[in-house]
Amino acid sequence: MSMLSDIEPAVLWNYFDQLRKIPRGSGEEKAVSDYIVSVAKKLNLDYEQDRTLNVVVRKPARPGHEKAPAVVLQSHLDMVCEKNSDVEFDFKTDEIQVQRDGEWLTADGTTLGADNGIGVAAALAVLEGDMIHGPIEALFTVDEERGLNGAMSIAPDLLKGRILINLDSEDIGVFSIGCAGGADSHLTMPIRRETASGDTLVRLFISGLRGGHSGVDIHEGRGNALKILNRLLYQAGKTIPIELVSLMGGDKHNAIPREAEAQVVIRSADLSRMRDWFDKAMADIRVEFSPVEKNITFTLAKLEQATPDVLVPEAQKTLLALTFALPHGPMAMSRTIKDLVETSNNVASIKFSGDQVNIHCSSRSSNDAALQATLDKLCAIAELSGASIEQPEGYPGWMPNLDSKILKIALDTYKEVADEQARYEAIHAGLECGLIGVKYPGMDMISIGPTIKHPHSPDERVDIKSVELFFRHLLRMLQVLA
C-alpha separations of 133 from 6, 137, 400, 407 in Å: 27, 11, 26, 18
Q: Give Dmax (Cα) for the chain.
A: 85
| Helix (H), strand (E) at residue 425 | strand 423-427
**284: exposed, middle or buried (C-beta count within 10 Å: 0-12, 13-18, 19+)?**
exposed
17, 29, 78, 82: the active-site residue? 78
- Type of residue numbered 418: A
| Helix (H), strand (E) at residue 185 | strand 181-190
**381: exposed, middle or buried (C-beta count within 10 Å: 0-12, 13-18, 19+)?**
buried
**Quick check: is 86 catalytic?**
no
**Quick check: is 217 catalytic?**
no
29, 144, 293, 425: the active-site residue? 144
Q: Could you give the strand order of the β-sheet that contains 104-107, starting from the edge strand earlier in sequence? A: 98-101, 104-107, 461-463, 452-453
**End-to-end alpha-carbon separation of the chain, Å?**
37
- Give the Cα separation of 302 and 202 in Å (integer): 5
- Give the Cα separation of 421 and 432 in Å (integer): 26
- Give the Cα separation of 23 and 12 in Å (integer): 19
Q: Point out the residues that are catalytic.
A: 78, 144
